[in-house]
Amino acid sequence: MSHSVELDGIGMRFGSTRAVSGVSFTVQAGEFFSILGPSGCGKTTILRMIAGFLEPTEGRVLIGDRDMRGLGPNQRPTAMIFQSLALFPLMPVWENIAFGLEARGVGRAERRKRADDLLRLIALEGYGDRMPGELSGGQRQRVAIARALAVEPGVLLLDEPLSALDLKLRQHMRAELRALQKRTGVTFIYITHDQSEALAMSDRVAVMSNGLLQQVATPRQLYDNPATPFVARFVGETNAIAGRVSAIGDGMARVDTALGPLHGRADRSLAIGQAATVYVRPEALMPGVGANTLRARVSRMDFEGAFALVHGQFPDGAALTAAVPSTRLGDAPALGTDASFSFAPEHAVVLADA
Ligand SMILES: Nc1ncnc2c1ncn2[C@@H]1O[C@H](COP(=O)(O)OP(=O)(O)OP(=O)(O)O)[C@@H](O)[C@H]1O
Ligand SMILES: [Mg+2]
């Protein structure tokens, strides 16, 4: 049985440090939900409040609509995989997996059977009698996940479980974890500071900065419609051109910038005269003149196969990055020259400066 998790205005103070302030969101039962943000923004603190290792100094945690106040980690339907996980090195794999069941009075034969079922689930059938030291990093990670699933949690809390693995293994494990979550239907709350990991794995993502919730949205929405300047800069690459709003209408805004007037999709709260920034993704910039044109001095070109990253500098020194598809490289400007790049207004977002 999987559960929903509702955070209702939770906050955490450590002495004079406010680690988390007024965070509210609801994770649906069976959802793969990520919490994304830079180091120190309060991700682990939120997970520890959900698991019951920390009691919030304000607000409530509800799991499956039940208020969790006063309930310890063992009384909650959650299991947590910690940032620095460790298996018991002197215990075979199957006993590691069944560890939580012994405390619940499950007999040895039944424990072995459950461990074998879980080994099949994580594609490590037949590995039960190995010692943790005889497994690869990714295999150990899967055993840690099986151990957490053994107690049949309604909610699995994962604190950067892939951060210790190399890039190749991390990408492989992303797909495995995602498939495992869909197969079990358990609610996953997954912490990461890696935005591509969050985008690739999640049904929805909460972005945090400095203890504050910035936005909760699907990966697509986060990328296409960032709600705050922080999200626009933190999720994916972007070009940011600052100016002042000079016209608004039909969901679009014109911003007067040092590079000339630029148009983009407008946030509802924008007002004429307000300081605002136009955010354009590198892949939205094409060589040539168009509705919105930026001129920059081309300083570097990184060929990456499917596309080339063209780096340039605006007259004021700010950086420009354009991702030009290889099929259009014939149009790409030469190094050291001043070149024009244009973008469609609907591919840019205008947000008021914070
Ligand atoms: N027990 C504690 N006592 C005092 N301050 C703490 C405690 N635990 C966390 N903090 C502070 O709270 C803030 C949030 O910490 P937290 O561990 O939640 O960050 P995080 O987002 O998980 O970061 P990372 O990505 O580095 O793991 C930090 O400024 C941290 O120093
Ligand atoms: Mg952390």
Residues with CB under 6 A from ligand 1: 14, 17, 19, 37, 39-45, 193
Average pLDDT (290-312) is 92
Tokens for 280, please give them.
Answer: 């354009």
User: What's the rounded Cα separation, in Å, for the pair 42 and 40?
Assistant: 6
Q: Ligand 1 mean position to 341 CA, how many Å?
A: 42
- What percent of the chain is modeled with pLDDT above 90? 75
Ligand 1 pocket test, candidate residues 16, 21, 45, 209, most atoms within 8 A of CB: 45
Closest ligand (CA of 38): 1
Is the confidence at residue 267, as pLDDT, over 80?
Answer: no
pLDDT tens for each residue of 148-184? 889 889 999 999 988 877 788 788 888 888 988 998 8
Superfamily of domain 237-352, CATH level 4: Nucleic acid-binding proteins (2.40.50.140)
Q: Among 191, 188, 216, 186, which residue's Cα sits nearest to residue 204? A: 216
Q: Tokens representing 178?
A: 């995602």
Q: Which helix (H) or strand (E) holds 109?
A: helix 108-121
Give per-residue pLDDT as tens, 133-142: 999 888 888 8
> Can you tell me the distance from the alpha carbon of 255 to that of 252, in angstroms, rounded to the nearest whole number?
10
Average pLDDT rounded to a whole number, residues 46-54: 97
The CA distance from 111 to 109, in Å, is 5
Q: Give 85's pLDDT tier (boundaries 50, 70, 90).
A: low
CB 222 within 8 Å of CB 231: yes
Mean pLDDT of the chain: 93
**What pLDDT, on the 0 to 100 scale, is given for residue 84?**
67
Which pLDDT tens digit goes with each residue over 24-41? 999 999 999 999 999 999
CB-based contacts of 336: which residues, under 8 Å, 6+ apart? 297, 298, 299
Secondary-structure class of domain 5-229 per CATH:
alpha beta
Mean pLDDT for 333-354 is 93
Domain ranges of the chain: 5-229, 237-352
Q: What pTM value is reported for the model?
A: 0.90
**315 vs 155, higher pLDDT:** 155
Q: Whose CA is nearest to atom 28 of ligand 1?
A: 40
Over residues 312-327, mean pLDDT: 90
Which phi and psi (to 5°) does residue 44 adopt?
-65, -35
